[in-house]
Chain A
Amino acid sequence: AQSVTQPDIHITVSEGASLELRCNYSYGATPYLFWYVQSPGQGLQLLLKYFSGDTLVQGIKGFEAEFKRSQSSFNLRKPSVHWSDAAEYFCAVGAREAGNMLTFGGGTRLMVKP
């Protein structure tokens, strides 16, 4: 069965500091990996995705993520956090083909200190 673990429920960083959110997955085939962000009262917005190719993927809002097959990880990073990045972040795994379910992690709530 597929699963996603986000070990950190809450993270607080200072504005301007770097950020890394952890994601570990379990998937029986080639994974299709995603990071979504949810701001209060909003839906889930796609930050970036990985299916194949370069293991370092760039997303919107200055985020990037690195796929490490040997560690079954897909950690999200940002070199300098802005106050507007405060939100909940979800990692997800699924198949590439449309119609297949995505399995989400429990989410990491990011708080940004001024």
Chain B
Amino acid sequence: EPEVTQTPSHQVTQMGQEVILRCVPISNHLYFYWYRQILGQKVEFLVSFYNNEISEKSEIFDDQFSVERPDGSNFTLKIRSTKLEDSAMYFCASSEQGTNVLTFGAGSRLTVL
């Protein structure tokens, strides 16, 4: 069964550093998403991406965050100048055109010290 792959599974960084989380969506999917889950809290939408541009973003997704599809297979989330409160599990997801049925990856756990 096709799956969404995320790397790294766990990253530890110092406050103020930049991190890049990587995702390989399902190959025939055209929509890509990032969600995050702070420990003990809800899964929250960050951003959706289609046709090389952001289609929707939440209030959380401010100038500290950016997304990119650098090539035909990867989808990345960059977090600049990380803060303690950025510590969370970040989930990538993808969906086919015409449907909001998401397939999620296993997540990347970010720990900011």
* A in complex with B: yes
Give the interface of A toward B (CB within 8 A). Answer: 32, 34, 36, 41-46, 49, 90, 92, 94-107
Does B75 have its Cβ within 8 Å of any Cβ on chain A? no
Q: Are B91 and A44 in contact (CB under 8 A)?
A: yes
Taking a contact as CB atoms closer than 8 A, the residue among A32, A42, A44, A100 that contacts B43 in the complex is A44
A106 cross-chain contacts in B, Cβ below 8 A: 41-42
Does B111 have its Cβ within 8 Å of any Cβ on chain A? no
Q: What is the bound-complex CA distance between A83 and B103, given in angstroms?
A: 25
Q: What is the bound-complex CA distance between A98 and B42, given in angstroms?
A: 21
Could you write out 28 A-B pairs with CB less than 8 Å apart? A34-B101, A36-B104, A41-B106, A42-B106, A43-B4, A43-B106, A44-B43, A44-B93, A45-B104, A95-B100, A96-B99, A96-B100, A98-B30, A98-B96, A98-B99, A99-B31, A99-B55, A99-B100, A100-B48, A100-B100, A102-B35, A102-B45, A102-B100, A103-B45, A104-B44, A106-B41, A106-B42, A107-B42
